[in-house]
Amino acid sequence: MKFYSRKLIKPEDLNARNTLFGGALLRWIDEEAGIYAITKLDSKNVVTKFISEINFISSAAQGDVIEIGLQFKGVGTTSISFSCEVRNLLSKQAIIEIETIVFVNVDDDGHPTPHNKTLDNIDIQRS
Ligand SMILES: CC(C)(COP(=O)(O)OP(=O)(O)OC[C@H]1O[C@@H](n2cnc3c(N)ncnc32)[C@H](O)[C@@H]1OP(=O)(O)O)[C@@H](O)C(=O)NCCC(=O)NCCS
């Protein structure tokens, strides 16, 4: 798992209980995962296809800093998949775990199209 970006929890990111709003967290994860897919596939025409069961493990409070981690899982003909973990930057307490996120490479009409990446030619080290 490689932790890429960090977020400071601000007032606008909170729910009615004044803890981190799950929707805000999912938005950040989707954006981070999209950037990850773009860099790995060398294509900006990627869309979120699938997000598996989401486990909200613990919360975060205003002023906390969280970090978003992604782990490459595999590539298919048009897709790329990875897992995700978000944790508190300082305590390392896990906040959310997602087993599988899948992005699909699409053409100008929005149809799946081969990304031409394989385990042999994809650069999984590139951030
Ligand atoms: C993404 C989209 C173009 C895929 O179309 P589709 O007809 O379902 O595509 P396919 O069935 O050919 O599958 C495409 C790839 O996705 C994978 N896939 C499809 N459904 C999947 C699922 N439920 N779980 C995991 N992977 C899945 C397939 O295995 C295939 O991968 P591969 O080519 O690497 O083998 C279409 O579903 C779509 O436009 N969805 C909306 C995307 C979007 O707008 N996302 C933003 C959030 S709303």
Domain positions in the chain are 2-105
- Counting from 1 in the atom list of ligand 1, the atom nearest the Cα of 79 is 34
Contact 100, 50 (CB under 8 A): yes
Calculate how far, in angstroms, residue 79's C-alpha sits from the geometric centre of ligand 1: 8
What CATH architecture is 2-105? Answer: Roll (3.10)
Q: What's the mean per-residue pLDDT of the chain?
A: 96
Contact present, 36 and 4 (Cβ < 8 Å): yes
Torsion of CA 3, 107, 100, 120, to 10 degrees: -70
> Are 126 and 39 a contacting pair, CB within 8 Å?
yes
Q: Place 126 in a pLDDT band, splitting at 50, 70 and 90.
A: confident
- pLDDT (tens digit, 9 = 90+) per residue, 10-47? 999 999 999 999 999 999 999 999 999 999 999 999 99
What pLDDT does 97 receive?
97
pTM for this model (two decimals)? 0.96
Which of residues 85 and 124 earns the better pLDDT score? 85
Q: What pLDDT, on a 0 to 100 scale, did the predictor assign at position 10?
A: 98
Distance from C-alpha of 81 to C-alpha of 75, rounded to nearest angstrom: 6
Q: How remote is the CA of residue 84 from the centroid of ligand 1, in Å?
A: 19
Nearest residue (CA) to ligand 1, atom 11: 112
Does the pLDDT value for residue 69 go beyond 80?
yes
pLDDT attached to residue 73: 96
Q: Whose CA is nearest to atom 36 of ligand 1?
A: 49
**Shortest-distance Cα residue to atom 24 of ligand 1:** 50
